[in-house]
Amino acid sequence: MSKPVESLKEATIRFAGDSGDGMQLVGGEMANTSALIGNDIGVLPDFPAEIRAPAGTLPGVSGYQLHISSFDIHTPGEKYDALVAMNPAALKTNLENLKPNGILIINVGGFKDRNLKLAHYDSNPLEDGSLDKYQVFAVDMNTLTRKALEELGLSAKIVDRCKNFFALGMVFWLYNRTMDHALSLLKSKFAKKPELAEANSRALKAGSMYCEATEQFVTSYEVKPAKLPRGKYRNISGNTATALGLIAASQKSGLPLFLGSYPITPASDILHELSKYKHYGVRTFQAEDEIAAICSVIGAAYSGSLAVTSTSGPGLALKAEALGLAISVELPLVVCNVQRAGPSTGMPTKTEQADLMQALYGRNGEAPLPVVAASKPADCFETAYEACRIAIKHMTPVLFLSDGYLANGAEPWPIPKAEDLPEIPVNFAKDPESFQPFLRDEDTLARPWAIPGTPGLEHRIGGIEKEAVTGNVSYDPRNHEYMTRIRAEKIEKIADDIPPTEIEGEKTGDLLLVGWGSTYGAIRTAVEHKLDEGKSVSRIHLTHLNPLPKDLGEILKSFKHVLMPEINAGQLVNVIRAKYMVPAIGFNKVQGLPFFSSEIEQKIDEILESK
């Protein structure tokens, strides 16, 4: 007899185990499979900073959280409906977020005395009654995987590494997922080692068959496809979306793309991804350090390429002097800063929004530049593209901000048509009769882009102040003040390109939430819930952080109260208070974790009730 299937609107699932247990792989495959069948998804990979943390320890736990739904969602979920714990440490670090009566799948094979001690358990939670409020499915995945693969003649080490696919097979059965994509993935991933493809495929099928055959599992669940706008979608991470946005800008502008970068978590995948696109004219250079990376990019911009460098906060600090040179020389380039928890090394695999002040002010002298921030993994495409457009049109370096949550997170992305992307016209100076290196465009104040070697367009380059128009070296005090102010005015003129700010909710009312970057999903979900409750709440989310939109001041002053959630100690809120003289309320979280929408909802209620 077939087992009953219960329909759910949404489910949040967490895979957790040692950093070597393959949780990122199987969690990502669950996400890809769910996206293929039409669910909306949100994911949160969570892994230790160490390349191989001590097995069985609390710091060594790697997790992958997945939120699947039959409607439009904006976060990777909060409390889990199901938790897969491969060892005691994974259980201990994740159990508090499992819902009461939630599904708890435990690998009994990982609960040896040594592992219990490493996780600081005084007693075995499988025996002491501490898990009574959950639906516990204790399965010896180690033994069952070995039995499923015993005919293949593989080493014990290889066989034991397949238990993650046994766990995935169980979750596939539990949520009625097809195995087709996973089997295809294994065949492709292990094309040169077919015995590994066969082993993992058998483990996957064995996990599913175990759930079907055993009386432990009585019910399975289904989450039907979401009703999303028609179109061609793919599941995309923030770093991949950033890379594709840069490539799209290169193709649209007709400029060759050059990335000079030094590997740093969590930005390295931008370098990895772009290195695959040599056939699109992309050139990637892994420099010996951060300073060499941005200096190579300055050279590429000077010679007429779409020049980009990628980094995180510590690398941005090292790039600061050369970035000041690019501002002084007024060259178009993009710096992608994928923020992480700091200061110093901090928590390199955890997320934070704490580099905003560094982006705005972290250079010597008066050195303003445009700053844009992506809000969702898929939005990294559009925001990276916008950064390139601004850089080329206004002849300036641009700082693009993402963070670890966006970089590693993923969601379905409707693939845009090339013809729908904004144009990025490029006009190189060619006429020696009219050329002056700092003769500015009347509308944008951008100087001309002159390619080295163009006859008659010779000019000085370097970090010493230049004379207006001629570009000759100048120590004249009034010229220095003029050049300082005109560079700042050029950046402010970018606000003319910023479209009107979209407001969710009423245009005036009791409370306005202002967000930027990766707080988007949590803020939007919280505001939607409060609007459903009839509360006077509205929301805006900023992409352009310097300059700010022209209509922002008027919007802020149309509400009684302004709340600004940030994953930092309060950075944009201070800018807003100073610039617009509004008593904006900061709501800050500095834990290396994104906001839960419930946290923001609670803060909304607190303000509305007390004010």
What would the pLDDT profile of 207-217 be if each residue is shown by its tens digit? 999 999 998 89
Phi, psi of 78 (to 5 degrees): -120, -95
Q: How sure is the predictor about 49, in pLDDT bands with cuts at 50, 70 and 90?
A: confident
* Fold: same for 5-223 and 509-610: no
Architecture of the 5-223 domain: 3-Layer(aba) Sandwich (3.40)
DSSP state of 96: G
- Rounded distance between C-alpha atoms, residue 218 and residue 201, angstroms: 24
CB 63 within 8 A of CB 53: no
Q: What is the pTM of this model?
A: 0.95
* pLDDT given for residue 1 in this prediction: 54
- Rounded distance between C-alpha atoms, residue 106 and residue 104, angstroms: 6
CB 513 within 8 A of CB 464: no
SS percent in the chain: helix, strand, coil, step 5:
40, 20, 40
The candidate with the shortest Cα–Cα distance to 398, out of 388, 407, 406, is 388
What would the pLDDT profile of 175-197 be if each residue is shown by its tens digit? 999 999 999 999 999 999 999 99
CB 396 within 8 A of CB 332: yes
- Rounded distance between C-alpha atoms, residue 548 and residue 542, angstroms: 8
Structure tokens at 441: 């465009």
Domain ranges of the chain: 5-223, 234-420, 427-497, 509-610
* pLDDT given for residue 52 in this prediction: 75
CB 404 within 8 A of CB 337: no
Q: How sure is the predictor about 2, in pLDDT bands with cuts at 50, 70 and 90?
A: confident
Query: How many of the other CB atoms lie within 10 Å of CB of 568?
Result: 21
Top CATH class, 234-420: alpha beta
pLDDT over 90, % of the chain? 96
What would the pLDDT profile of 539-571 be if each residue is shown by its tens digit? 999 999 999 999 999 999 999 999 999 999 999
CB 166 within 8 A of CB 134: no
Give me the chain's average pLDDT, please: 96
Top CATH class, 509-610: alpha beta
CB 350 within 8 A of CB 313: no
Spatial neighbors of 318 by CB under 8 A, at least 6 apart, are: 289, 290, 291
pLDDT mean over 138-153: 97
Amino acid at the residue 455: P
Amino acid at the residue 289: D
What would the pLDDT profile of 250-259 be if each residue is shown by its tens digit? 999 999 999 9
* pLDDT given for residue 611 in this prediction: 66
Q: How sure is the predictor about 598, in pLDDT bands with cuts at 50, 70 and 90?
A: very high
